[in-house]
């Protein structure tokens, strides 16, 4: 792929994209006995939101010059996700992997990633960090903001479009999806942008890109190499979040029932439904008869 | 920039990966191209892995490869609608240090196998489809074109390990379109059950022991085909496959055939309570020796399913794929070392290597079987039913004396096939197809 020349009037952008390798949620199964998530044999994919972030970074690079570095924290097999990103067109890839990272919650994850970004930033000062709005396996949407806070970056979340970037004036204008509308925000570089789905169409790398990706060495850093200062803040030990229980929601169809009720007045309909509920839940009637139904009042 | 390799392998199934692995180990510059997202994501098999072929390529595969269970018991069932007559063979000898047969799941297995080739130095492109072969002015294959933007990729030789359909070879005019009488369509479900349940239902003593069942008769509903049921670590693979031409002629829906097999009284209890995790369908080349296409040409070779290398009688395929892949690789390595161009004549040594290996010997041994069954479907309908009736007559204790029972059984067999003559010609046919 031809890269735009890095001319003097185009200072270029140092773009960093944080991606995560996640199990394909469409194929996850919950173990019927232990109720734990069975990851074995479940195919992994790059978190789909992160691919939109990567594509957005590639577009910025193609327009303004500069480079795109993808970064991921994960087990050694997460290298595949990074290689995939290289095949789509990223310039560099760094995997931070260490036993001490295992079991990290969002707090510990953003600490480790921020440490690595700080280390990378010494070589190439960060202009922008891009991520997906959230992962499909954790759904927290906290890691991006965590990184921004730790690195002191302007924080632009749920971005649906990047309207303008001015690398010289260090300005950026984005459209942000918010409840009930769209906000147009002007901010400064360096910043963190987390993107929503569908803000672009992810490209397919050319033959040269996938060949380069297949041959590339993915840089692999341990916690120390990544510049983590306090290993106690990584992984399980650095994670205050405790998962108390994991369970599979029971399918709704089995509980829900289509009920044929005749009559037009609401009270008739209510009576019919109540009858049905009481027939199916005989204990309920007794419980109701025992005393007044407790309601939550403010 | 023009990319030139010593060899390009089209496909990352067992055949392609074996070829890539052997060539990469010999120091050749190998490019392997796979259309799936990962090797194995498009590949389907029952699946039984025969250790021998793999062991020759990766001697310590047992320590690393994702294997499900090793087979300690083989069952062969002849089904009628409500019964099965079976032969079971279980031996503690199969519980050995280096077991001979394993059940596997192809997605993780192929991924592992391809990683071996990559570790040996082969370059693997995934999510990339080879759309056509690039030829020079003289018509020699010199490279491939892919569906990605950019330059063509060049090589001294292209190994077509593209699987049963062989679309690249077809498009390049190297082979004909598949004949529906030479291809089976198999459908398979993976039914999730816990390890404990699998062990209990199949009388197994651990999470590494497994049972496989091959079923004939009613399972194919009068068509030429078979059914199978394999135990995995935490699931059961169950499927049926019949010739495409038979599906066409009868209008049977493959999923209906599988549902019927799953609800057979001998099968249903084995699957009870299981959750279907996966539903897949795939073509299996079953045309045998006579259906083998041209295997070598100017600058190209064919290996694995693309060369129809499947032995339906013994349910072997992936081992033939690995062996043909390795033999093709050795041919290319020898030519590469001599500096000989990969012309059709030079690549002929691959054909000679095939003739000497078990692959071609087995393909030849069963060359008549497919055609014989195609023209004699009663082997799969009349006999299993007659056998089942005979067993019932034999086993029911109902006041009829044994000599009379014997006579009834013989009479029934005779009547089923319309006399002694037909029974005898059937025996001859079967013996000739099998000899």
Contacts 24+ apart (CB under 8 A), B389-392: B391/B83, B391/B85, B392/B83
Q: Tokens representing B237?
A: 């693979």
Collect all residues of chain A within an 8 Å Cβ-Cβ radius of residue B195: none
Residue B16 shares a structural domain with residue B44 = yes
User: Is it the case that residue A1 has pLDDT exceeding 50?
Assistant: no
- In a domain? residue A148: yes
Among A36-50, A133-147, A173-187, which stretch is predicted with the lowest mean pLDDT?
A: A36-50
Collect all residues of chain B within an 8 Å Cβ-Cβ radius of residue A21: none
What does the DSSP assignment read for B96-145?
-SS-SEEE--HHHHHHHHHHHHHHTT-EEE-S--EEEEEE-TTS-EEEEE
- In a domain? residue A130: yes
Tell me which residue in A207, A210, A215 faces B151 most closely, judged by beta carbons.
Answer: A207
Q: Cα–Cα distances in Å, from A129 out to A53, A70, A205?
A: 9, 10, 22
Position A293 confidence tier, pLDDT thresholds 50, 70, 90: low
Residue B393 shares a structural domain with residue B296 = no
Report CB contact under 8 Å: A207, B153: yes
Give the burial string for B147-156 (b: 16+ CB within 10 Å, else e): ebebbebbbb
Q: Which of residues 226-285 of B touch A (CB under 8 A)?
A: 275, 277
Position A295 confidence tier, pLDDT thresholds 50, 70, 90: very low
- In a domain? residue A296: no
Residue A98 shares a structural domain with residue A217 = yes
Q: How far apart, in whole angstroms, are the C-alpha atoms of residue B36 and residue B123?
A: 15
- Residue B124 contacts residue B34 (beta carbons within 8 Å): yes
Q: Cα–Cα distances in Å, from B362 out to A258, B50, B314, B356?
A: 60, 15, 10, 11
Mutation target for B interface from A2, A23, A51, A214: give the one with most B CBs within 10 A. A214
Q: How many residues does chain A have?
A: 298
Minimum Cα–Cα distance from A33: chain B residue? B194
Residue B272 shares a structural domain with residue B194 = yes
Residue with tokens 């510059």: B29
- In a domain? residue B88: no
If you average pLDDT over every residue of chain A, what do you get?
A: 87
Q: How many residues does chain B have?
A: 435
Report CB contact under 8 Å: B128, A43: no
pLDDT, tens digit, 9 for 90 and up, residues A264-279: 788 888 888 888 888 8
Which of the listed residues B298, B326, B356 is the one where a domain comes to its end?
A: B356
Maximum CA pair distance of chain B?
88
What would the mean pLDDT of A227-248 be, rounded to a whole number? 87
Collect all residues of chain A within an 8 Å Cβ-Cβ radius of residue B105: 41
- Say yes or no: A208 contacts chain B, CB-CB below 8 A: yes
Residue A268 shares a structural domain with residue A216 = no
Structural domain total, chain A:
2
Residue B213 shares a structural domain with residue B164 = no
Residue A62 shares a structural domain with residue A197 = yes
3-state secondary structure of B209: strand
**Which residue range is the domain that position B16 belongs to?**
3-67+104-177+288-356
If you average pLDDT over every residue of chain B, what do you get?
A: 94
- Residue B211 contacts residue B202 (beta carbons within 8 Å): yes
Residue B110 shares a structural domain with residue B258 = no
What would the mean pLDDT of B88-113 be, rounded to a whole number? 94
pLDDT, tens digit, 9 for 90 and up, residues A114-131: 999 999 999 999 999 999
Minimum Cα–Cα distance from B107: chain A residue? A41
- Say yes or no: B146 contacts chain A, CB-CB below 8 A: yes
C-alpha triplet B164, B170, B171: angle, nearest 5°: 130
Residue B55 shares a structural domain with residue B15 = yes
Residue A108 shares a structural domain with residue A222 = yes
Residue A139 shares a structural domain with residue A35 = yes
Tell me which DSSP letter residue B69 carries. E
- Angle, to 10 degrees, between the axis of helix B106-119 and the axis of helix B14-25? 20
Residue B30 shares a structural domain with residue B163 = yes
Residue B50 shares a structural domain with residue B128 = yes
Report CB contact under 8 Å: B149, A206: yes
Position A180 confidence tier, pLDDT thresholds 50, 70, 90: confident
- In a domain? residue B109: yes
Phi/psi for B400 (5° steps) reads -85, 135
- In a domain? residue B86: no
Residue A77 shares a structural domain with residue A207 = yes
Report CB contact under 8 Å: B150, A204: no
Q: Kindly give, in sequence order, each residue whose CB lies less than 8 Å from that of residue B421, ignoring residues fewer than 6 positions away.
A: none
User: What pLDDT is stored for residue A10 in this prediction?
Assistant: 55
User: What pLDDT is stored for residue A4 in this prediction?
Assistant: 45
Residue A272 shares a structural domain with residue A219 = no
Residue B31 shares a structural domain with residue B60 = yes
Which of the listed residues B266, B285, B304 is the one where a domain comes to its end?
A: B285
User: What pLDDT is stored for residue A294 in this prediction?
Assistant: 52
Which of the listed residues B331, B356, B381 is the one where a domain comes to its end?
A: B356
* Residue whose C-alpha is closest to residue B135's, from B148, B154, B151, B160: B154
- In a domain? residue B83: no
- In a domain? residue A6: no
- Residue B284 contacts residue B315 (beta carbons within 8 Å): no
Q: Kindly give, in sequence order, each residue whose CB lies less than 8 Å from that of residue B133, ignoring residues fewer than 6 positions away.
A: B141, B143, B144, B145, B158, B168, B169, B171, B172, B174, B300
- Say yes or no: B150 contacts chain A, CB-CB below 8 A: yes
Q: Kindly give, in sequence order, each residue whose CB lies less than 8 Å from that of residue A2, ignoring residues fewer than 6 positions away.
A: none
3-state secondary structure of B5: strand
- In a domain? residue B144: yes
- Say yes or no: A215 contacts chain B, CB-CB below 8 A: yes
- Say yes or no: B171 contacts chain A, CB-CB below 8 A: no
Residue B407 shares a structural domain with residue B428 = yes
What does the DSSP assignment read for chain A?
-PPPP--TT---EEEEEE--EEE-GGG-EE-TTT--EE-TT--EEE-HHHHHHHHHHHHHHHHH-EEEEEEEES-GGGHHHHHHHHHHT-SEEEEE--GGGTT--HHHHHHHHHHHHHHHHHHS--SEEEEESS-TTT----HHHHHHHHHT-EEEEEEEEEEEEETTTTEEEEEEEETTEEEEEEEESSEEEEE-TTSS------HHHHHHHHHPPPEEE-TTTTT-S-GGGSTGGG---------PPPPHHHH--------SSHHHHHHHHHHHHHHH-HHHHHHHHHSPPP----
Collect all residues of chain B within an 8 Å Cβ-Cβ radius of residue A210: 125-128, 148
CATH number for the domain harbouring residue A37: 3.40.50.620
Q: How far apart, in whole angstroms, are the C-alpha atoms of residue B394 and residue B252?
A: 34
Exposed, middle or buried by CB within 10 Å (0-12, 13-18, 19+), for B39?
buried
Give the burial string for B356-390 (b: 16+ CB within 10 Å, else e): eebbbebbebbbbbbebbeebebbbbbbbbbbbbb
The more confidently predicted of residues B15 and A24 is B15
Exposed, middle or buried by CB within 10 Å (0-12, 13-18, 19+), for A109?
buried
What would the mean pLDDT of A90-99 be, rounded to a whole number? 96
Tell me the β-bridge partners of A113. none
- In a domain? residue A8: no
Distance from CA of B251 to the nearest CA of A (A): 32
CATH number for the domain harbouring residue B225: 3.30.9.90
Residue A148 shares a structural domain with residue A215 = yes
Mutation target for A interface from B103, B129, B149: give the one with most A CBs within 10 A. B149
Residue A125 shares a structural domain with residue A148 = yes
Residue A88 shares a structural domain with residue A171 = yes
Structural domain total, chain B:
3
What would the mean pLDDT of A249-258 be, rounded to a whole number? 65
Report CB contact under 8 Å: A29, B192: yes
Report CB contact under 8 Å: A41, B105: yes
User: What pLDDT is stored for residue A271 in this prediction?
Assistant: 86
Among A2-16, A188-202, B215-229, which stretch is predicted with the lowest mean pLDDT?
A: A2-16
- In a domain? residue A244: no
pLDDT, tens digit, 9 for 90 and up, residues B259-296: 999 999 999 999 999 988 889 999 999 999 999 999 99
What does the DSSP assignment read for B275-331?
EEEEEEEEEEE---GGG----EETTEEE-GGGGT--BGGGTB-HHHHHHHHHHHHHH
**Which residue range is the domain that position A262 belongs to?**
252-290
Q: How far apart, in whole angstroms, are the C-alpha atoms of residue A167 and residue A185?
A: 16
pLDDT, tens digit, 9 for 90 and up, residues A64-80: 999 999 999 999 999 99
Report CB contact under 8 Å: B108, A41: yes
- In a domain? residue B399: yes
What would the mean pLDDT of A226-250 be, rounded to a whole number? 86
How many beta carbons lie within 10 A of that of residue A294, not counting itself? Answer: 6
Residue B255 shares a structural domain with residue B397 = no
Residue A143 shares a structural domain with residue A281 = no
- In a domain? residue B49: yes
3-state secondary structure of B236: strand
What would the mean pLDDT of B178-202 be, rounded to a whole number? 94
Tell me which DSSP letter residue B417 carries. H
The more confidently predicted of residues A176 and B373 is A176
Report CB contact under 8 Å: B3, A211: yes
- Say yes or no: B121 contacts chain A, CB-CB below 8 A: no
Residue A259 shares a structural domain with residue A231 = no
- In a domain? residue A245: no
* Residue whose C-alpha is closest to residue B307's, from B146, B178, B137: B178
Q: How far apart, in whole angstroms, are the C-alpha atoms of residue A25 and residue A198?
A: 19
- In a domain? residue A187: yes
Among A206-210, B245-249, B380-384, which stretch is predicted with the lowest mean pLDDT?
A: B380-384
- In a domain? residue B152: yes
Q: 3-state secondary structure string, B148-196? A: CCCCCEEEEEEEECCCCCCHHHHHCCCCCCCCHHHEEEEEEEEEECCHH
């Amino acid at each position: 792929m031809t890269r735009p020349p890095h001319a003097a009037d185009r200072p270029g952008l140092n773009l960093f994209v944080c991606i995560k390798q996640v199990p394909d949620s469409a194929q996850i199964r919950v173990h019927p006995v232990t109720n734990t998530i069975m990851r074995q044999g479940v195919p992994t994919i790059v978190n789909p939101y992160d691919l939109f972030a990567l594509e957005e970074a590639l577009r910025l690079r193609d327009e303004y010059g500069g480079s795109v570095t993808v970064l991921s924290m994960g087990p050694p097999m997460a290298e595949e996700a990074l290689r995939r990103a290289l095949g789509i067109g990223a310039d560099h890839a760094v995997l931070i992997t260490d036993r001490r990272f295992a079991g990290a919650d969002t707090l510990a994850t953003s600490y480790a990633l921020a440490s690595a970004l700080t280390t990378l930033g010494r070589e190439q000062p960060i202009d922008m960090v891009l991520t997906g709005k959230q992962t499909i396996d954790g759904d927290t949407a906290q890691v991006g903001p965590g990184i921004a806070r730790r690195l002191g970056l302007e924080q632009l979340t749920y971005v649906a479009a990047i309207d303008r970037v001015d690398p010289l004036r260090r300005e950026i204008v984005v459209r942000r999806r918010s409840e009930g509308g769209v906000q147009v925000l002007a901010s400064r570089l360096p910043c963190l942008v987390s993107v929503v789905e569908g803000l672009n169409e992810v490209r397919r790398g050319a033959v040269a890109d996938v060949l380069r990706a297949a041959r590339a060495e993915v840089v692999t850093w341990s916690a120390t190499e990544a510049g983590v200062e306090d290993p106690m803040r990584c992984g399980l030990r650095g994670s205050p979040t405790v998962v108390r229980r994991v369970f599979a929601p029971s399918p709704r169809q089995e509980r829900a029932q289509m009920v044929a009720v005749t009559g037009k007045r609401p009270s008739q309909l209510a009576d019919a439904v109540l009858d049905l509920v009481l027939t199916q839940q005989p204990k309920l009637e007794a419980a109701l008869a025992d005393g007044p139904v407790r309601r939550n009042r403010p | 920039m023009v990319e030139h390799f010593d060899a390009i392998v089209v496909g990352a199934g067992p055949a392609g990966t074996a070829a890539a692995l052997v060539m990469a180990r010999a120091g050749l510059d190998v490019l392997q191209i796979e259309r799936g997202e990962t090797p194995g994501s498009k590949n389907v098999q029952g699946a039984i892995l025969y250790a021998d072929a793999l062991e020759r390529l990766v001697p310590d595969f047992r320590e690393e490869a994702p294997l499900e269970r090793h087979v300690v018991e083989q069952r062969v069932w002849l089904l009628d609608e409500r019964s099965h007559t079976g032969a079971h063979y279980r031996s503690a000898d199969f519980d050995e240090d280096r077991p001979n047969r394993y059940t596997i799941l192809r997605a993780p297995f192929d991924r592992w196998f391809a990683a071996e080739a990559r570790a040996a130095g082969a370059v693997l492109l995934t999510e990339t489809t080879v759309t056509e072969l690039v030829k020079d002015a003289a018509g020699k294959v010199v490279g491939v074109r892919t569906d990605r933007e950019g330059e063509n990729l060049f090589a001294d030789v292209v190994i077509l390990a593209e699987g049963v359909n062989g679309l690249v070879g077809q498009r390049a005019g190297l082979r004909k379109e598949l004949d529906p009488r030479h291809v089976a369509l198999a459908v398979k479900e993976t039914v999730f059950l816990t390890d404990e349940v699998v062990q209990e239902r199949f009388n197994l003593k651990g999470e590494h022991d497994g049972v496989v069942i091959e079923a004939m008769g009613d399972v194919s509903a009068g068509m030429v085909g078979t059914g199978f049921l394999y135990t995995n670590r935490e699931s059961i693979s169950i499927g049926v496959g019949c010739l495409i031409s038979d599906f066409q002629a009868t209008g049977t829906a493959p999923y209906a055939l599988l549902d019927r097999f799953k609800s057979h009284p001998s099968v249903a209890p084995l699957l009870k309570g299981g959750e279907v995790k996966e539903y897949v369908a795939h073509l299996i080349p079953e045309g045998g020796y006579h259906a083998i296409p041209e295997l070598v040409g100017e600058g190209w070779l064919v290996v694995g399913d693309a060369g129809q290398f499947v032995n339906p009688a013994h349910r072997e395929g992936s081992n033939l794929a690995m062996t043909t892949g390795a033999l093709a690789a050795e041919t290319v390595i020898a030519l590469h070392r001599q500096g000989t161009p990969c012309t059709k004549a030079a690549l002929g040594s691959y054909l000679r290597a095939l003739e000497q290996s078990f692959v071609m010997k087995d393909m030849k041994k069963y060359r008549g079987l497919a055609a014989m069954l195609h023209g004699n479907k009663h082997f799969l309908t009349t006999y299993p039913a007659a056998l089942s009736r005979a067993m019932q007559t034999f086993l029911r204790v109902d006041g009829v004396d044994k000599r009379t029972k014997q006579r009834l059984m013989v009479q029934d067999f005779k009547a089923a096939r319309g006399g002694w003559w037909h029974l005898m010609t059937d025996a001859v046919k079967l013996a000739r197809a099998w000899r």
